[in-house]
Amino acid sequence: MSAFTDKRLAGRTALVVGAARGIGAAIAARFVREGARVVIADTETEAGEATAAALGGPEQTRFVQTDISRKDGAEHAVSTAVDAFGGLDILVQNAGIYPWTLIEHISPEEWDAVLGVNLRGTFLAAQAALPVMRARGGGRMIFTSSVTGPKVSSPGHGHYAASKAGINGFIRSAAIEFAGYGITVNGVEPGNILTEGMKAHRSPAFIRGMEDAVPLGRLGTPDDVAGAVYFFASDDAAYITGTTIVIDGGQILPEGNDFRLSPG
């Protein structure tokens, strides 16, 4: 039977932060296909409401407007899941921002904004969800990191790379602290994923250049990331905590540009 029809998350409630579009929307859609009830949290109200409506009615999906960089925003998102569906079993913090600015030009305000959403938001989401999951005897926390920061980097992403490397460190610490409550904490490290944002803000030449750097010959899709997040949320990952999965088509593996072998 297909993994898309097994309903292996039936009876569980998930909160997916940063799910109005792109990777987060794909994660929410995968969870719904697997039978979960899903609360979509995002700053983008119109897009978030449209995504929630497309995935199901109020018995299956809800939307809540949330600024995850604020403590009250994280707590409101969690309480929405509890009020709507009676609890919280799975937390995914996928929200992130990634302005392009060279380190010499990053203002303290921009630095704080990036770390506020990406890293502080991860901490606040976990802290808000912890009491609910602890009372239920367990749960799953999954955070979207990146290959940028933990594995590689590029000019213009100093603040973004720092925030994502910080997420990996937080995952390890939280995994140790929450293990006694039956809560697993893991993350995904996407490479270049072909989202609406990349299509809108990157040129076709840039996208082709990224594809040429990937041994599998294509950029990732939001569904590629959603599959790994679903794995961490499923019973198959019950004994896995404090780790991440790289989802990059092998992009970080080559030592140089001349890595392709001819079929012969």
Q: Which residues contact 232 (CB under 8 A, 6 or more apart)?
A: 140, 142, 184, 186, 188, 240, 245
CA distances from 88 to 92, 105, 167, 205, 250 (A): 11, 41, 21, 43, 34
Structure tokens at 81: 């899941």
From first CA to last CA, the distance across the chain in angstroms is 37
* Integer angstrom CA distances of residue 167 from 46, 65, 158, 238, 250: 28, 23, 14, 21, 22
In single-letter form, the type of residue at position 170 comes to: F
Give the residue numbers marked as catalytic.
160
**Alpha-carbon 134 to chain mean position:** 22
How much helix, strand and coil, in percent to the nearest 5, is found in the chain? 45, 15, 35
- Residue that the structure tokens 């997916």 belong to: 16
On whether the CB atoms of residues 221 and 193 are closer than 8 A, the answer is yes
* Residue 30, φ and ψ in degrees, nearest 5: -65, -40
